[in-house]
Structure 1
Amino acid sequence: MDNTFWATVGLILFFVVVFYVKAHVRVGKSLDDRAARIRKEIEEARELKEEAKQQLAEYQRRRREAEQEAKDIVAAARREADLMLKEARRRNEEYVERRTAMAEQKIAQAESDAVAEVRATAVNLAVAASAQIIADRNSGGSSGQFIDQSISEVKKRLN
């Protein structure tokens, strides 16, 4: 009965206690539970990964849509700016045309006024000259009335 004997007896007693308490079943069940828990966590991780992929795809789609919308907005703004520029040019041209027409009309009016003034001056000079000539020719008493009538008639016809 040496130490080896007692070690063997202790080992056998240990195995008996382990089988009596059914520790091997508990250890197996514990390992099975842990394996199931790990499988569940792996499955959850896969689901989260799939969900993350879906969200990434959704965000990329939204980004592309936002970029396209921004391009559309810029294009619309450019079109609107072009239309505004064309409208401003058209208005400017119309303004210049109106101002030109008004200036031409004022020039024509001034020209006709000048012609009328020259005519009036020429008529007045012609009347005065003819009055002077008639007065010089007929320096008599009764011819004065005839002269005044002639001058007024000439004035009416020339104006």
Structure 2
Amino acid sequence: MEFLSNPETWVAVAFVLFVGLIVYLKVPGTMGKALDDRAAKIKADLDAAAKLKAEAEAALAKYREATRNADKEAEAIVIEAKAVAEALAAKAEADLAAALARKVETGKAKIAQAEANAIAEVRRIAAEAAVAAAREIIATRLDGAAKDRLIGDTISSVATRLN
């Protein structure tokens, strides 16, 4: 019985009982299931992380595309605004030139009208002066018979001019 007094024997017996108890209580299956569950959870977390990474990359690509589009749109808006401003400036310049031309023409017309009025006034004054001078000459130099003959000639010339 030396076999029972040997401590190594008791260690071996305790080990066999321990392993038997573990197998009886299905610890390896439970641990395997727990490890499988943990592995499945880790795999699900990795899949979710990969999905989130893909979504983040897609969002980043979309953001970069939107930024490029926004830059292009801003550049197009600036170009269009410059074109509109140039068109407005050209139109304003043309309108100003047309307005100045109208004012010049109006000024020329007013000057021509004033000139025509001045000429008419000078002619009127000259005609009045000529009539007054003729009246004075007729009154001082012609006798009665010559006056009558002159009046008759004038009346007949007016009559022929009116007909």
TM-score normalised per structure 1: 0.81
Identity, % of aligned pairs? 36
Contact 2:22–2:28, Cα closer than 8 Å, also in 1: yes
Counterpart check, 1:145 vs 2:148: yes
Residue deviations 1:27-81 (CA, integer Å, cap 9, x gap): 1232122123212221221122112111110111011112211221221122111
Structure 2 counterpart of 1:54, from 44, 53, 58: 58
Aligned amino acid, residue 53 of structure 2: K
Aligned amino acid, residue 26 of structure 1: T
Of the two structures, which has the highest relative contact order with CA contacts closer than 8 Å and spacing of 6 or more? 1
Q: Which residue matches 1:33?
A: 37
TM-score normalised per structure 2: 0.79
Structure 2 counterpart of 1:76, from 73, 80, 102: 80
Stretches of structure 1 that go unaligned for 5 or more consecutive residues are none
CA-atom RMSD in angstroms: 2.8
Q: Which residue matches 1:64?
A: 68
Q: Which residue matches 1:19?
A: 23
Q: What is the total number of aligned residue pairs between the two structures?
A: 154
Query: Displacement, 1:109?
Result: 0.9
Larger deviation: 31-40 or 140-149? 140-149
Counterpart check, 1:126 vs 2:130: yes
